[in-house]
């Protein structure tokens, strides 16, 4: 029933990730050339001068050069990991640690936790130089990094402690469910993960994110009044307005909505308040309110749950398939390892699903832009706000079509501007 294309699941995985690497490198090269040859688009002539264009090019070129190197290192690391059977090696080391502390190999869940811990430490060590270079060299060179080494280390410690506190128990429950529920485990695992996902929507913004950032109520004034008026005009049940101190880490900007039921909140990055004016902030929030108005997050959540169910079901079909484990050098068939190996062979489908999701989310982004431009009549302010955010963040101004189609969850800036302007022209014709 489950036959590898080349006679070995390991070889199939290596072949596929190599193909994907070559494809993604090809479209990145196309995009890099597009950046090098970029001139100021007509739509942006009022907002972008040659100096700003030069800064944008320099930042983007540095990022793509860095990506070329890290992508190459990543695929070399992955292929070497498979070729030299490092995963079975980590499993063996974790068993030795387990025995050293007086436990036998029958304690599969504890064994699995040690294994995943060793694997994470290994990956963190390998990826640390890349992360440090990106944060303290590239981002600092272009004026975006505000993170100190002390803050960086504190963030890493907090992240790892949270991972131990939440990740360990969740993995344990995940494995225990599979052990106890038999062939239909995929149903129970899916229900468990759906509950975890819903709880995360409550726990993360309210309890975890405040461990890293300070959330301050937006001060009384014109901006708060305007935001409350817009929220009220579309019946958005706004309860609280916050400003988050993103500037202590970097100068990038954003805004988002969160909250379940009638307990809705809006968060503005402090950097956003410095980059755009009040009317443009309201227009950007109008876009975010469009996502809420059309229930985009619920739709995406629903699609995600369908995808999760299918993944767990397919995993249930291969969990006991011995040749899969043997192909990657395993003698035993531990559940966690099985799921990890399954994720490798599922990666072709996963890449296709990610592409499809990008297509869907781009259509939802256009609909949210339409809501701000048509329903709230804030098209012009949305255009200027988007342009300022893109230029202040030195974001790509012109995007290669293939690169955009494969990677972007949002339409490129120029596409969004043209879309909004067409909507405005249609509105003006109706008035006439």
Query: Dihedral of CA 46/48/51/54: which sign?
Result: negative
Which DSSP category does 145 fall into? Answer: B
Both tokens of 432, joined, read 């006439």
Q: Which of 223, 276, 269, 271 is nearest to 387 (CA)?
A: 276
Rounded to whole angstroms, how far apart are CA atoms 143 and 270? Answer: 16
d(CA 90, CA 124): 15
Which of 120, 119, 137 lies closest to 70 in space, CA to CA? 137
Check if 369 is active-site. yes
| Contacts of residue 9, Cβ cutoff 8 Å, sequence gap at least 6 | 323, 324, 327, 328, 341, 344, 345
- Residue 154: CA atoms inside 13 Å, Cβ hemisphere, count? 9
Degrees (nearest 5) of the Cα angle 323, 116, 344?
40
Structure tokens at 54: 């030069």
Decide: 184 and 309 in contact? Cβ < 8 Å: no
* Residue position matching structure tokens 């079901």: 313
Rg (CA), the chain: 24
Q: In terms of C-beta density within 10 A (0-12 exposed, 13-18 middle, 19 or more buried), how is residue 338 classed?
A: buried
Phi first, then psi: give them for residue 147, nearest 5 degrees: -75, 130
Given the DSSP bridges, would you call strands 238-244 and 264-269 parallel, antiparallel or unpaired? parallel
**Is position 183 annotated as part of the catalytic site?**
no
Distance, in Å, from the CA atom of 224 to the CA atom of 23, rounded to the nearest integer, reads 47
CA distance 31 to 24: 10
Q: List the catalytic residue out of 95, 280, 369, 415.
A: 369
Catalytically annotated residue among 12, 139, 288, 415: 288
Q: List the catalytic residues.
A: 288, 369
């Amino acid at each position: 029933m489950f036959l590898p294309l080349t006679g070995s699941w390991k070889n199939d995985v290596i072949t596929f990730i190599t193909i994907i690497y070559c494809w993604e490198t090809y479209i990145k090269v196309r995009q890099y050339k597009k950046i090098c040859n970029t001139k100021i688009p007509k739509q942006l002539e009022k907002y972008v001068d040659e100096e700003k264009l030069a800064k944008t090019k320099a930042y983007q070129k540095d990022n793509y050069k860095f990506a070329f190197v890290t992508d190459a290192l990543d695929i070399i690391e992955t292929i070497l990991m498979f070729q030299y059977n490092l995963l079975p090696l980590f499993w063996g080391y974790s068993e030795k640690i387990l025995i050293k502390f007086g436990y036998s190999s029958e304690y599969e869940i504890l064994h699995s936790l040690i294994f995943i811990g060793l694997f994470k430490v290994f990956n963190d060590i390998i990826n640390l130089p890349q992360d440090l270079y990106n944060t303290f060299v590239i981002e600092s060179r272009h004026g975006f990094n505000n993170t100190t080494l002390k803050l960086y280390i504190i963030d890493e410690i907090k992240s790892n402690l949270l991972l131990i506190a939440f990740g360990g128990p969740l993995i344990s429950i995940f494995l225990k469910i599979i052990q106890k529920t038999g062939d239909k485990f995929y149903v129970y695992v899916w229900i468990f993960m759906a509950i975890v996902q819903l709880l995360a929507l409550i726990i993360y913004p309210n309890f975890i994110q405040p461990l890293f950032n300070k959330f301050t109520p937006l001060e009384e004034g014109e901006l708060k009044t305007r935001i409350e008026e817009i929220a009220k005009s579309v019946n958005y049940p706004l309860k609280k307005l916050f400003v988050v101190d993103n500037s202590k880490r970097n100068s990038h900007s954003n805004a988002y909505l969160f909250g379940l039921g009638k307990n809705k909140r809006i968060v503005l990055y402090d950097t956003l308040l410095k980059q755009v004016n009040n009317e443009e902030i309201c227009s950007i929030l109008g876009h975010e309110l469009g996502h809420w108005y059309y229930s985009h997050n619920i739709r995406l959540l629903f699609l995600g749950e369908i995808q999760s169910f299918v993944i767990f079901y397919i995993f249930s079909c291969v969990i006991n398939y011995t040749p899969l484990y043997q192909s990657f050098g395993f003698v035993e068939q531990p559940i966690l390892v099985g799921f990890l190996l399954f994720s490798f062979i599922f990666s072709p489908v996963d890449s296709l699903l990610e592409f499809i999701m990008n297509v869907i989310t781009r259509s939802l982004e256009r609909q949210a832009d339409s809501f701000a431009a048509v329903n709230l009549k804030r098209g012009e302010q949305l255009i200027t706000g988007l342009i300022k955010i893109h230029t202040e963040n030195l974001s790509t101004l012109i995007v290669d079509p293939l690169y955009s189609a494969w990677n972007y969850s949002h339409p490129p800036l120029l596409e969004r501007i043209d879309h909004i302007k067409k909507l405005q022209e249609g509105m003006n014709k109706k008035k006439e």
